[in-house]
């Protein structure tokens, strides 16, 4: 395995229908960026913008021949920075076409989606075809990372996770083969590609998803004074557990910098404004404290709903990008850190106090930071899928907790240590009230027992798939599927 010289790099570049960016090239500084600027310190050997599956095959072969680690990259939102490093980045964002096949007699609609499609572009294309695929909310996240790791979103209780909608994947494995995987062909790799996490088994080039007709959608947001935070969280958990599948919501306890402490519930209903108004009134009654503000609106077009949930209300699809992704993009990169947990039982009063107390501590000790706890609803269709049916094992939860911090620009060493300290302290405080699991798409480099937390009882089978398709561990990173569990 000889390190590549200049001639070898030139040969790879000529072989690609896409492009290759080397450290000496003018565009290298931008090409190596992830969403989080904390990882700008990484210097990949090169970035291959692959425009076709053949490009991916050639790049994987090149990396293997020369002993360079191939690093798959789509949206670049890995919380651990695992979509960069010193190896050869295989960027799939130029494979971003979306083709919808309408429903036919006895056959539902499907969407064939290039692996490099960002969520905001996916929703824009799907809305024009009048269909939806359940997915996440962050607009610049790539479909690959989302679907491969599970894919929670605002329509998941009604339609399932993104991985549940996956009907087939095309993937280039470590030996350079392009495989089509579904329930009949390569079923084990297909199983692992629905929740086993990105970057573990190869480089996906496209997905086929089941698509659903766009229904009537309505939105709500309710805020309360912070003094009611414990009552709101407890009432929200009870209310959401009893809600119909059509309702997804979250409860947020936030330290909003100069805006102070905030407690809020918001969500989406597959249904009418009248039905949502009744449900929201029930939430307020269950909480038992009057809100400071309440909004119930709709019906709204599917794309508008997804833009609102993406934080892109009043922006176009083009604007809802980074400038490096679209000339019209107005979003900005941001430094952040997070950890996650799952709740399988209603929180006792001590658990409610621990959650509110953690956010109060953040605001008191680091008042300039934005952060806090977001409780995202599970249940519904998500929990009716057996844990062993897909690689995504978390099928017995009420909600996920995501603890987050946002610095904006790259934090100083002391600020980062303080922030990580809060995340660690919060995780320990909430541990008695959670089930020991964690969401693999909120990957956390500081999580000690991550193999069990992410994959639970499915880890052994995932390791078996890893040995079958990548026995030399070509695709690896600090929290990749191990060859032996």
**Angle in degrees, CA 422, 397, 35, rounded to 5:** 50
Residue 296 is inside which H or E element, if any? strand 293-300
Instruction: Give the three-class secondary structure for 98.
Output: strand
pLDDT tens sequence for the chain (485 residues): 678 999 999 999 999 999 999 999 999 999 999 999 999 999 999 999 999 999 999 999 999 999 999 999 999 999 999 999 999 999 999 999 999 999 988 889 999 999 999 999 999 999 999 999 999 999 999 999 999 999 999 999 999 999 999 999 999 999 999 999 999 999 999 999 999 999 999 999 999 999 999 999 999 999 999 999 999 999 999 999 999 999 999 999 999 988 899 999 999 999 999 999 999 999 999 999 999 999 999 999 999 999 999 999 999 999 999 999 999 999 999 999 999 999 999 999 999 999 999 999 999 999 988 999 999 999 999 999 999 999 999 999 999 999 999 998 999 999 999 999 999 999 999 999 999 999 999 999 999 999 999 999 999 999 999 999 999 999 999 999 999 99
Check whether residue 234 and residue 346 sit in a common domain.
Answer: yes
Q: Retrieve residue 1's tokens.
A: 């395995």
CA distance 132 to 82: 29
Residue 156 · residue 165 · CB < 8 Å: no
Check whether residue 249 and residue 384 sit in a common domain.
Answer: yes
- At 204, which CATH number? 3.30.465.10
Q: What is the pLDDT of residue 259?
A: 87
DSSP H helical segments within 316-404, as ranges? Answer: 349-365
**Residue 469 domain flag:** no
Q: Which are the contacts of 379, defined by CB distance < 8 A and separation ≥ 6?
A: 157, 240, 241, 245, 397, 398, 399
Check whether residue 112 and residue 261 sit in a common domain.
Answer: no
- At 416, which CATH number? 3.40.462.20
CA atoms within 13 A on the CB side of 293: 8
**Residue 479 domain flag:** no
Check whether residue 259 and residue 295 sit in a common domain.
Answer: yes
Residue from 263, 193, 197, 188 nearest 227 by CA: 263
Tell me 92's DSSP state: -
Check whether residue 232 and residue 368 sit in a common domain.
Answer: yes
Check whether residue 205 and residue 343 sit in a common domain.
Answer: no
Structurally, how many domains does the chain consist of?
A: 3
**Residue 361 domain flag:** yes
**Residue 32 domain flag:** yes
- At 76, which CATH number? 3.30.43.10
Whole domain around residue 160: which residue ranges?
A: 98-213
Residue 465 · residue 188 · CB < 8 Å: yes
- 259 phi and psi, to 5 degrees? -80, -5
Q: What is the pLDDT of residue 329?
A: 98
Check whether residue 403 and residue 284 sit in a common domain.
Answer: yes
Check whether residue 236 and residue 363 sit in a common domain.
Answer: yes
Residue 302 · residue 11 · CB < 8 Å: no
Check whether residue 37 and residue 115 sit in a common domain.
Answer: no
Check whether residue 250 and residue 289 sit in a common domain.
Answer: yes
**Residue 468 domain flag:** no
């Amino acid at each position: 395995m000889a390190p590549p010289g200049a001639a070898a790099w030139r040969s790879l570049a000529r072989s690609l229908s896409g492009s290759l960016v080397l450290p000496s090239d003018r565009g290298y500084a931008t090409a190596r960026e992830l969403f989080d600027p904390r990882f700008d310190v990484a210097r990949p050997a090169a970035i291959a913008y692959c425009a076709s599956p053949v490009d991916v095959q050639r790049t994987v072969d090149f990396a293997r021949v020369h002993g360079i680690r191939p690093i798959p990259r789509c949206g670049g939102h890995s919380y651990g920075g695992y979509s960069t490093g010193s190896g050869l980045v295989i960027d799939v964002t130029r494979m971003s076409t979306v083709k919808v096949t309408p429903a036919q007699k006895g056959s539902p609609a499907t969407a064939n989606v290039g692996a490099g499609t960002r969520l905001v572009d996916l929703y824009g294309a799907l809305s024009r075809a009048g269909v939806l695929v359940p997915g996440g909310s962050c607009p610049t996240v790539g479909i690959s990372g989302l679907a491969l790791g599970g894919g929670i979103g605002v329509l998941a209780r009604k339609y399932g996770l993104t991985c549940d909608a996956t009907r087939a994947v095309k993937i280039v494995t470590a030996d350079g083969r392009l495989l089509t995987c579904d329930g009949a062909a390569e079923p084990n790799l297909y199983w692992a590609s629905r929740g086993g996490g990105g970057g573990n088994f190869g480089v996906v080039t496209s997905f086929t998803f089941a698509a659903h007709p766009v229904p009537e959608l309505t939105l709500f947001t309710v805020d309360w004074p912070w003094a009611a935070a414990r009552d709101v969280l407890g009432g929200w958990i009870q209310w959401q557990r009893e809600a119909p599948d059509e309702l997804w919501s979250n409860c947020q306890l936030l330290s909003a910098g100069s805006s102070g402490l905030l407690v809020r519930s918001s969500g989406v209903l597959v249904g009418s404004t009248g039905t949502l108004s009744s449900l929201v009134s029930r939430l307020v009654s269950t909480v038992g404290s009057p809100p400071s503000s309440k909004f119930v609106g709709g019906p709204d077009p599917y794309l508008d709903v997804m833009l609102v949930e993406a934080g892109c209300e009043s922006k176009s699809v083009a604007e809802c990008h980074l400038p490096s992704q679209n000339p019209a993009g107005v979003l900005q990169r941001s430094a952040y850190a997070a950890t996650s947990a799952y709740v399988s039982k209603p929180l006792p009063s001590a658990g409610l106090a621990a959650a509110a107390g953690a956010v109060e501590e953040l605001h008191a000790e680091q008042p300039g930071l934005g952060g806090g706890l977001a409780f995202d609803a599970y249940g519904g269709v998500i929990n009716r899928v057996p844990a062993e049916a897909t690689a995504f094992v978390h099928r017995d939860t009420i909600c996920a907790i995501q603890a987050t911090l946002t610095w904006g620009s790259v934090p100083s060493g002391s600020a980062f240590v303080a922030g990580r300290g809060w995340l660690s302290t919060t995780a320990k405080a909430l541990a008695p009230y959670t089930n020991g699991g964690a969401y693999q798409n909120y990957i956390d480099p500081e999580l000690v027992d991550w193999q069990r937390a992410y994959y639970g009882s499915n880890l052994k089978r995932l390791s078996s798939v890893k040995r079958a398709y990548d026995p030399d561990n070509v695709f690896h990173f600090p929290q990749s599927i191990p060859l032996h569990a």
